[in-house]
């Protein structure tokens, strides 16, 4: 590949504040991903660059960011597939920004109850994870969702309404009702609140960016159908 410009939105409280774009140039190998490029920039050009990564194979969701304005996993987005001489990287929207491309995504779990069956014990954790979890804690995660936050960042309602439950939570509610029908009354009450399912504008942006095919919009429509009896599959 030819030389490529990567423009990164950078932010460090009190240092790069307000945020500003910095441009880096490199010559990537044909198979490089966005994450590969970030690694090379950090190693060879900018040691203070902040981003998250863990699994490198689209399983953990930690490397999610916006690439040319679209929410993607950096580890599975190949530079060659973007077919552009310049790439702009920014953090996910809607989440608190810590620095550069790093955000805090705890809001994803704000309305999730610990006893919901959509939360599954993580049986692939290593010794380090066991140490961090402590003797009285277990590590859990959503069934299919990798908690990347892409759906929330892409959602136009979530961007303008911080009280909106969001596509990740509404998907979890829909899934929980399906698996445990006895919970339907209480969960529909949660979902039917003004900042719940009724606030969805049916933009379908959440489903377009979901890297694991959860299709949150489909679950939100299922909730609408249960609530009104008039929902239609997107």
Task: List phi, psi (to 5°) of 121.
Answer: -60, 140
Q: Select from 104, 123, 154 the last residue of a domain.
A: 104
> Domain check: are 214 and 174 in the same one?
yes
**pLDDT confidence of residue 129:** 41
**Separation CA 195–CA 161 (nearest Å):** 8
**pLDDT confidence of residue 109:** 73
Q: Contact 169/187 with Cβ under 8 angstroms?
A: no
> Domain check: are 14 and 78 in the same one?
yes
Least confident interval from 55-69, 98-112, 191-205: 98-112
> Domain check: are 146 and 33 in the same one?
no
- The answer to whether residue 230 scores a pLDDT higher than 70 is no
Rounded to the nearest integer, the mean pLDDT of the chain is 86
Which of the four pLDDT bands, split at 50, 70 and 90, describes residue 122?
low
The pTM is what?
0.84
> Domain check: are 92 and 30 in the same one?
yes
Query: Does some domain include residue 11?
Result: yes
Region 202-217: mean pLDDT is 93
- The answer to whether residue 108 scores a pLDDT higher than 90 is no
Which of the four pLDDT bands, split at 50, 70 and 90, describes residue 152?
very high
> Domain check: are 62 and 88 in the same one?
yes
Q: State pLDDT tens for residues 57-73.
A: 888 899 999 999 999 99
**pLDDT confidence of residue 126:** 41
Region 107-126: mean pLDDT is 62
Greater confidence (126 vs 190) lies with 190
> Domain check: are 185 and 210 in the same one?
yes
> Domain check: are 62 and 156 in the same one?
no
Q: State pLDDT tens for residues 166-186.
A: 999 999 899 889 888 998 999
Q: Which residues are within 8 A (CB) of 95 and not within 5 positions of it... i.e. 6 or more apart?
A: 103, 104, 105, 107, 149, 152, 153
Query: Does some domain include residue 234?
Result: no
Q: Let me know if 113 is exposed, middle or buried by CB neighbors in 10 A (0-12, 13-18, 19+).
A: middle
**Percent of residues, the chain, with pLDDT higher than 70:** 84
**Could you tell me the residue range of the domain that residue 9 belongs to?**
4-104
> Domain check: are 96 and 54 in the same one?
yes
**pLDDT confidence of residue 118:** 61
Region 115-144: mean pLDDT is 48
**Separation CA 215–CA 199 (nearest Å):** 18
Query: Which pairing describes strands 4-12 and 86-90: parallel, antiparallel, or unpaired?
Result: parallel
């Amino acid at each position: 590949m030819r030389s490529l410009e990567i423009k990164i939105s950078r932010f460090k409280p009190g240092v790069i504040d307000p945020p500003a774009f910095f441009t880096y140039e490199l010559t990537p190998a044909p198979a490089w991903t966005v994450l590969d490029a970030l690694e090379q920039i950090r190693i060879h050009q900018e040691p203070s660059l902040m981003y998250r990564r863990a699994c490198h194979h689209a399983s953990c969701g930690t490397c999610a960011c916006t690439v040319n304005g679209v929410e993607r996993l950096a580890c599975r987005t190949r530079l060659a597939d973007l077919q552009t001489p310049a790439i702009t990287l920014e953090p996910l929207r809607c989440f608190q920004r810590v620095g550069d491309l790093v955000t805090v995504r705890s809001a994803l779990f704000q309305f999730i109850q610990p006893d919901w069956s959509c939360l599954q014990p993580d049986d692939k954790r290593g010794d380090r994870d066991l140490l961090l979890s402590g003797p009285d804690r277990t590590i859990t995660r959503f069934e299919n969702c990798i908690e990347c936050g892409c759906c929330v960042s892409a959602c136009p309602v979530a961007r303008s309404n911080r009280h909106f439950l969001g596509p990740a939570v509404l998907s979890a509610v829909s899934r929980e009702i399906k698996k445990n029908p006895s919970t339907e009354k209480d969960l529909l009450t949660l979902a039917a609140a003004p900042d719940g399912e009724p606030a969805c504008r049916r933009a379908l942006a959440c489903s377009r960016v979901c890297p694991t095919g959860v299709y949150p919009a489909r679950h939100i429509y299922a909730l609408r159908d249960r609530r009104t009896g008039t929902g239609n599959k997107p």
